[in-house]
Amino acid sequence: MSKIDEIAQAVETGKSKLIEGLVNEALSGGEDPLKILNDGMIKAMGNVGEKFQKSEIFVPEMLVAARTMKKGVEVLKPKLAAGATTSLGKCIIGTVHGDLHDIGKNLVALMIESAGFEVIDLGVDVTTEAFITALKANPDTKVVALSALLTTTMPAMKDTAVAIKASGLKGFKLIVGGAPITEDFAKQVGADGYTTDAASAAVLAKKLAG
Ligand code: B12
């Protein structure tokens, strides 16, 4: 089994004690950090989601897989974020109200930070009011990024996006993303941009802020 397959298996089965060693071994074996992330960890989380959907596993297993992935990402972080500067301005990011998923949001934050933004991460379950308060406190914000992972929190994303646009606050672009979000939905909620993954989110943020 390749190191990347071992990493995927460790994430899928929640082997949080093994993950750090495996990721370090893969890195010292010359594996590309992005490949470890995409083909190892993100792919494994996809399998975890499928198993959950088929009721082969339940929330606790999903949670240990998530913890394992988070530990693995910590090891990769310095490699993924290499060369970070903070000259492109501020980016406010958060997972919308009612939604506790943060792995994807954290990756987007990491990639946007390494692209050169100062990231203000509001965390998960962020209310519309909290986004607007943060924007008012940081009038020099260039990008606001909303994440949602549940179809049931898409309405919260819409409410937040609409309220941000209606707030009269200006000077920033709004981007949205997360597994259930589509280009069409992004347009419907009035976002300035949408993309499917963390690496392209950073490219998009740079383009919109520039
Ligand atoms: C891990 C996980 C959990 C963990 C989350 C831990 C954590 N700290 O994040 C826990 C156990 C808490 C959890 C809980 C629940 N979960 Co859950 N979870 C998952 C799982 C397996 C993986 C998510 C993940 O981390 N993926 C890996 C990351 C890297 O991918 P990502 O989040 O999609 O992010 C990428 C892109 O979407 C994009 N992106 C993300 N955000 C943004 C933002 C912007 C601006 C941009 C541009 C891009 C972008 O870039 C990211 C990186 O490339 C998914 C299955 C799946 N395949 O997604 C289910 C899944 C999302 N969960 C699901 C469900 C149902 C639940 C629960 C309701 C279960 C329950 N009965 O309690 C609860 C809801 C809790 C809540 N209120 O939020 C369903 C959602 C179904 C639906 N269509 O709505 C899924 C799809 C599983 C399934 N197949 O049924 N979950």
Distance of CA 199 to the CA centre of its chain: 10
Mean pLDDT of successive 10-residue stretches along the chain, which has 210 residues? 96 97 97 94 95 96 96 93 78 98 96 92 98 97 98 98 96 98 98 96 94
Atom of ligand 1 nearest to the CA of 98: 77
182-189, long-range: CB within 8 Å, 24+ apart, which pairs? 185/154, 185/158, 188/158, 189/157, 189/158, 189/161, 189/162
Task: Answer whether 178 contacts ligand 1 (Cβ < 6 A).
Answer: yes
Q: What local confidence, expressed as pLDDT, does residue 84 receive?
A: 64
Predicted local distance difference test score (pLDDT) of residue 83 = 65
3-state DSSP assignment of residue 116: coil
Which pLDDT score, from 0 to 100, does residue 96 have?
Answer: 98
Enter the pTM of the model. 0.95
- Our answer on whether the CB atom of 92 is closer than 6 Å to any ligand 1 atom is no
Residue 164 CA to ligand 1 center (angstroms) comes to 24
The residue among 186, 185, 183 whose CA lies nearest residue 174 is 186
**Ligand 1 contact via 180 beta carbon (within 6 Å):** yes
pLDDT at residue 81, rounded to an integer:
79
